[in-house]
Structure formats: structure tokens, C-alpha cells
Amino acid sequence: MIIGKGGAETEAGVMPSRQLVDDMMAYNESLAKAGVLLAAEGLAPSSRAARIAYGPGKPKVIDGPFAETKEIIAGFCLIQVKSREEAVEWALRVPVPEGGEGVGLELWEVFDAADMPETSLTPETAERDKALRESLETNPPNA
């Protein structure tokens, strides 16, 4: 997963320029053409978000906005590639606006039940995970 970090402008709800939108569309199309794109979305400012904090007692819901903008996520792109190196190559192609101050990307490997060690997953749980994934493919959310 390529995670795009936000900044003061994204937190203020400033929309990207037409040029950046066009550049992102071209980038996403290149990912799709290469057969590696699974999803790509921008995220609303943290004023429309919530965090769930766990500690003693009940979980605590914390409504945005969140003060520390350097930790804000502005969007993500989910790709399926063969290696970390390939993911880095794709991430380096993400269009960044002129100046790009404060913009950053993080790369995270996504894993599922198939990646779990056998000692962590019972055969029943593996089957439940498989059935859930199959149901999502045939009945996507909001379909």
C-alpha cells in the first residue's frame, strides 16, 4: 500500500490542481495498464475522521480534526506487485506538486490470512477467511 501523507493544505480541504488531478489519473491508468492497481483513493480532511483509542476501560472515540498534520494520511493506492523493490519503483513515480514540501509517501506491505504462520491460524479460521474473501468478490460492498 502506498500511503500519501497530507499537510496543511490537504487538512484545510484545498483541492488539488487540475494538473495534479490529471497527473494522478495518468499515474493510476499506468498502474491499471500494468495490472498492479487494486484501489486508489484520496481521503477527506481529518475534520471528517475519527480515531479509536484503546486503553484501560472502554475504547475512546476521538473526533477530528487532529493537531499533528505530519501524521495525516491524504490518500492511498493499493497495488499488487512481486517485490518491495517494484513497489518502491511505482511509488517513486507518484506525481507530486511543485515544491512538494511536507509531502511524503509510506510503503506498507499488506498481508492476509494466507501469509500467517500455520501456528497462528486454524484450518477453520483459514476456511472462514477464504469464504469471506470470496463473498466480497461476488457481493462487493454497496452493490
Domain around 116 = 112-143
CB 40 within 8 A of CB 76: yes
When divided into structural domains, the chain yields a total of 2
Asked if residue 18 and residue 71 are part of one domain, the reply reads: yes
Asked if residue 117 and residue 92 are part of one domain, the reply reads: no
Look at residue 135 and give its three-state secondary structure.
helix
Asked if residue 139 and residue 88 are part of one domain, the reply reads: no
Asked if residue 125 and residue 102 are part of one domain, the reply reads: no
Supply the pLDDT for residue 143.
52
Asked if residue 116 and residue 106 are part of one domain, the reply reads: no
Taking the C-alpha atoms of residue 39 and residue 134, their distance in angstroms, rounded to an integer, is 18
- Record the cell numbers describing residue 97, joined without a space: 506538486
Asked if residue 81 and residue 137 are part of one domain, the reply reads: no
CB 73 within 8 A of CB 4: yes
Q: What is the CA radius of gyration of the chain?
A: 18
List the chain pLDDT tens, one digit each, 143 residues: 999 988 888 888 888 889 989 999 999 999 999 999 999 999 999 899 999 999 999 999 999 888 776 678 889 999 999 999 999 999 999 998 776 666 689 999 988 767 777 777 788 887 888 888 888 888 877 75
Peptide bond preceding 141: is omega within 30 degrees of 0, i.e. cis?
no
